[in-house]
Amino acid sequence: MTKKVIVLGTGLVGSAIAMDMSKKYETHAVDINPDSFQQLKKHYVHTKQADLSDPETLIELVSDFDLVIGALPGHFGYKTLETIIRSGKNIVDISFMPEDFMNLDSLAKEYNVTAVVDCGVSPGMGNLILGYHNHTMEVEHFTCYVGGLPLVREWPFEYKAVFSPIDVIEEYTRPARFVKNGNIVEKEALSDIEIIHFEKVGPLEAWNSDGLRSLLKTMTIPNMIEKTLRFPGTTEYIKVLRDSGFFSYEEVDIKGHKIRPIDMTARLLFPKWQLKPGEGDFTVMQIAISGKENNQQAEYVYTLYDEFEPSSGILSMSRTTGYTCTAVADLILNDLFHKPGICPPEFIGENEKNYMCILEYLKKRNVNYKKEKK
C-alpha cells in the first residue's frame, strides 16, 4: 500500500517538497492560502485550505497520515511541532523556529515520535555533513558559509526572500552564537563582516548568524561558526534599518494608533523582496571541517553552487532546502531511520549508509555537494 504524506504549508519551499514527495507517495498539502494549489494539483498533490494555527484542526488533519512534513514560517513552528508530537505522528520539519525545540525531546520520546527538525540546507545539510565527520574523526573546526541570492542584482536591496520574509528578518535581529576555544560566544547578528570569494559568484559578504542551533548542544567541538552570505554592501543598509528600530516588535504611537514597526516594515519590504515570475536565484554554500583522522590532521571542504531550475520553475533555495527534507522523509517512510525524540539532522549523518543515501538522493535531483580533502 502506498504510504501517505501530508505537507503543512505550501509556500515556495513547501510546494517543492509536496511535488517531490508526490513522485513516490500519496501526498496531501494544506495551507490557509490556496495560491499554489493549482500548480500542486498538476503534480497530483491533494490540496486543502485550512487554518493550521488551530491545534484541533491540525490533529484532525494529520490523523490519517504516515508522516507529517512541516513547512510553516518559524513563528508557527514550535506550537505546530508540539501538536504533531501529541498526535503521535512522525514529522520532518524545516521551520526556523526561535524557540528551543530540544525542550520537546521528552515529549517526543513519550509519544514514540521521531521528530527531525531544522531539516533544510543550513541548518540541515550542514548538520548532516558535520554529524558524519564527527562520527569518523575528531573534529576541531567547523565553518559554514551559506546564502541564497537572486541571480540578478537589483538596486536597492540586491536580495529577494525565497522563504518566509519574517524568518529573514529574524536572521538580522537574533543574536548570533558560535563556539570559540570550547566556549559559546554571543554577538549581535551582522557582526564580524568579511569578504569571501566564490567561484561563479565572485565576492560575497559574510556575517555572523545564529545557524548552529542544535549543534551548540549536540556537538563537543571546540570551534564552530556559521555565517550568512549576501552581496557586498547589503549589511550596511540592513544595519541602518535594524538599528533605527524598523524591525522592532515594540508598539509605537502614531497619531493615537498603536503599531509595531516590524508590521509596517513587513508591509513595505516584502513586496519588494518577492521574485517576479521567471526570475531566478542561486544557493551557495561552503563547509570546512578539520581535525584529527587516524592520528593525522585532515581537512574536508564541501561546496555547493545551485541555480534556479527553469524547466520546473522551482527555485534553488526551494530545491536545496526542500530536497534535503524529502530525502530524510524518504528514509523514515522506508523504515531506514527511527529514533524517538527530537532529532536534529546531525543524528542522521552519524549513520554512513543513511548519509550516503541522502547525498545520492540529492544528486539525482541535481543538487551536488562537491567534496575535497585538503
User: In tens digits, what is the pLDDT along the chain, a chain of 374 residues?
Assistant: 899 999 999 999 999 999 999 999 999 999 999 999 999 999 999 999 999 999 999 999 999 999 999 999 998 999 999 999 999 999 999 999 999 999 999 999 999 999 999 999 999 999 999 999 999 999 999 999 999 999 998 888 888 887 677 778 888 999 999 999 999 999 999 999 999 999 999 999 999 999 999 999 999 999 999 999 999 999 999 999 999 999 999 999 999 999 999 989 988 888 888 888 888 999 999 999 999 999 999 999 999 999 999 988 899 999 999 999 999 999 999 999 999 999 999 999 999 999 999 999 999 999 999 999 98
What pTM was estimated for this model as a whole? 0.94
3-state secondary structure of 163: coil
3-state secondary structure of 11: coil
- Residue-wise pLDDT tens digits, 300-335: 999 999 999 998 889 999 999 999 999 999 999 999
Q: Which CATH class is domain 4-120+315-368?
A: alpha beta
* Cell numbers given for 71: 513547512
Query: Per-domain residue ranges for the chain?
Result: 4-120+315-368, 125-307
Contact 150, 275 (CB under 8 A): yes
Q: Rounded to whole angstroms, how far apart are CA atoms 325 and 13?
A: 10
pLDDT score, position 56: 93
Q: Rounded to whole angstroms, how far apart are CA atoms 277 and 57?
A: 33
CATH superfamily name and code, 125-307: Dihydrodipicolinate Reductase; domain 2 (3.30.360.10)
